[in-house]
Amino acid sequence: MTRLTFVRGDITEAPVDAVVNAANSSLLGGGGVDGAIHRKGGTEILAACRDLRASRYGRGLPTGQAVATTAGRLPARWVIHTVGPVWQPDEDRSGLLASCYRESLRVADELGAATIAFPAISTGVYGWPIDDGARIAVQTVRATPTSVTEVRFTLFSEVAYEAFVTYE
């Protein structure tokens, strides 16, 4: 049984086995959650991302996929990097957003992570409307078979938190 929990806060402080990073394909950092994770987690995470770019993901991590690295100095053991789709008003890219949640859970299962924290992927710089992003996140996690025991949605703003708890 997977328990879904909803908290307001900073994902870099989440007391979980794995935190999910809303990354970009380069895996080399950026703003938002990505910036916060690299800043607090330290250079070990970036070094692991560079190794991935030099090996399995020479052309970058495709949208909708996920890959794990060390979490460096974060309380978590692993960071699972995933690349959300950029919001396009004239194109339905929700399958790719759902894929981020599904693939992150698959990677968590491979790692043996029991607890995982998700941010609201794509709802910041990538412009996805928060209500729709929250619906896709919660519905996808509920529909995905996993050995993870707790999925903790960690929402930075009150608006995001309110959007997510609607689907509790």
CA distances from 129 to 50, 78, 103, 120, 121 (A): 31, 28, 21, 10, 11
Q: Whose structure tokens read 């309110």?
A: 162
Q: How far is the CB of 154 from ligand AR6 (least distance, A)?
A: 5
> Is the Cβ of residue 12 or residue 144 nearer to ligand AR6 in the bound state?
12
Burial degree of 28 (CB within 10 A; 0-12, 13-18, 19+): middle
Q: How far is the CB of 59 from ligand AR6 (least distance, A)?
A: 16
Structure tokens belonging to residue 162: 């309110």
Neighbouring-strand partners of residue 74: none
> Is the Cβ of residue 88 or residue 157 nearer to ligand AR6 in the bound state?
157
Q: How far is the CB of 125 from ligand AR6 (least distance, A)?
A: 4
Q: How far is the CB of 80 from ligand AR6 (least distance, A)?
A: 14
Helix axes 130-143, 158-165, angle to 10 degrees: 50
Neighbouring-strand partners of residue 23: 83
Q: By the criterion CB under 6 A, which residues form the site for ligand AR6?
A: 10-12, 22-24, 30-34, 36, 84, 119-126, 154, 156-157, 160
> Is the Cβ of residue 107 or residue 160 nearer to ligand AR6 in the bound state?
160
Q: Any idea which residues carry the catalytic annotation?
A: 34
Q: Cβ contacts of residue 44 below 8 Å, gap of 6+?
A: 70, 72, 73
> Is the Cβ of residue 84 or residue 113 nearer to ligand AR6 in the bound state?
84
